[in-house]
Copies of this chain bind each other. A is one copy, B any other.
Amino acid sequence: MDLAGQVGRRLRELRTEQGISLSELARRSGLGKATLSELESGRRNPTLETLYALTTALSTHLTAVLTPATAQAEVSGGAVDAVLLERYQDDEATTEVFRVRVRAGALQESPAHPPGTTERIIVLGGTARVGPTGAATLVGPGRQADWAADVPHEYSAPDGDAEAVLVVRYPRPGGAAAPR
């Protein structure tokens, strides 16, 4: 599990996405070209200062570079890439927050989860089609949808990849019945 390699790849992604050359980024960030070159190829172990200089020069946050490397639990499938951002647990339920990308074209069917499980998606960009199989709805940027996930459900993205946050809530099996 090469941490430097992952961060390096992510840095190069961010830079090329913005159409900036390595030399240009070196100028903007005040770092040496050598530093950037070896960093992006995963041959170095950057300093906090270096990372900060880089991410601000790329006008993002440190987390943009680090999150893909930190999150471990992947619950991905055919059309969905998911990265666990947060996991919360109390007497009533366990809740997991994922950052997901729904890939265009493909359809992912998810089997029923335990009784009482609910899912909620908040779309950041693109349009996703999600919900119980047969009753999926379209969700655009900034909008949300929620559904009971104890029946089969599906994810797809009709018009290009969709980026979203997915919140899955599993009520505690034996635990405190949640009155409402």
Q: Are A63 and B46 in touch, CB under 8 angstroms?
A: no
Which A residues, 52 to 90, have Cβ-Cβ distances below 8 Å to chain B? 52, 55, 60-64, 66-67, 69-71, 84-90
Cβ A47 vs Cβ B47 within 8 A: yes
Q: Which of B4, B45, B66 contacts A63 (CB 8 A)?
A: B66
| A63 lies within 8 A of B86 (CB) | yes
A102 → chain B closest CB, angstroms: 14
User: In the complex, what residues of B have CB within 8 A of residue A114's CB?
Assistant: none
Q: How far is the CB of A116 from chain B (nearest CB, A)?
A: 10
Give the contacts of A1-52 with B (CB-CB under 8 A): 3-4, 7, 45-49, 51-52
Do residues A142 and B93 form an inter-chain contact, with CB atoms below 8 A?
yes
Q: Who on chain B is nearest to A94 by CB?
A: B124
**A169 and B142 within 8 A (CB):** yes
A144 to B92, CA, bound (A): 16
The answer on a CB contact under 8 Å between B97 and A120 is no
- Chain B residues lying within 8 Å of A165, measured Cβ to Cβ, are 86, 97, 165, 167
- 20 residue pairs bridging A and B, Cβ less than 8 Å apart: A47-B48, A55-B70, A60-B89, A61-B67, A61-B87, A62-B63, A62-B66, A63-B70, A63-B87, A66-B66, A67-B85, A85-B85, A85-B99, A86-B99, A88-B124, A88-B163, A90-B163, A93-B141, A142-B169, A144-B144
With A47-B48, A63-B63, A63-B70 given, name 14 new contacts (CB 8 A): A4-B49, A7-B48, A48-B51, A62-B69, A62-B70, A63-B67, A63-B84, A67-B86, A85-B85, A86-B165, A88-B124, A88-B163, A90-B124, A92-B142
